[in-house]
Amino acid sequence: MNPTTELQRPPRVRVQRRAVHGVLLLDKPLGLSSNDALQKAKWLLRAEKAGHTGTLDPLATGLLPLCFGAATKFSQLSLDADKRYLATLALGIRTTTGDAEGEVLERHDAEHITPGGASLAALRRTGSGNLTLDGSITLSGLEALPEEQRATLLTSPDRLLADAPELRLPASEAARFLSGLRRRVDAPDAERVRVYGP
């Protein structure tokens, strides 16, 4: 081969991003960081804007709500929500970190187990606020779907506000509210509300 000949590389195909809005309930796999899972889902959906609602360690699996587009404005609500987990313990094993990542310090037979609570063998998040694994999908499941069907798995951005009371405004009031004007309404006091126009 002539040393002056340049190798021609095929041009990189640039993914056309699009505005995608909603919440994807991802069942995160073992061994993947939350950010890696987010970037993979964002690429599969060709989404312009995305964020997650709190990290899940690579050794943990389960519910990782991903926010796209307008839903990213409410991701903090899910970040602060109570989380629920299913923990699997390895009895008779004590590690430096208390989980499977650490170096084993002690091993005991079942009949010689003493307090000091085993080590964590597996952790699975089953819930975050009002969100659960019901209706969730794995990355491999998302990838297996035809591209045009992937966005149909997103739920409405207000799913993250489902615990807040709903308030509906007429068109004129909604327009004023959206422009930043405070409105008086006949409704009980609440820490936060979901406000809708017509």
How many angstroms separate the CA atoms of 98 and 87, rounded?
12
Amino acid identity of residue 57, one-letter, is: D
How many angstroms separate the CA atoms of 196 and 147, rounded?
31
Considering 27, 36, 57, 163, which one is annotated as catalytic? 57
């809708």: which residue's tokens?
Answer: 196
State CA 43 to chain mean position distance: 15
For this structure, is 80 an active site residue? no
Q: Which of 98, 91, 34, 22 is nearest to 63 (CA)?
A: 34
How many angstroms separate the CA atoms of 194 and 198, rounded?
13
Rounded to 5 degrees, φ, ψ at 139 are -65, -40
Widest pairwise Cα distance in the chain: 82
With beta carbons less than 8 A apart as the criterion, state whether 28 and 64 touch. Answer: yes
Tell me which residues are annotated as active site.
57
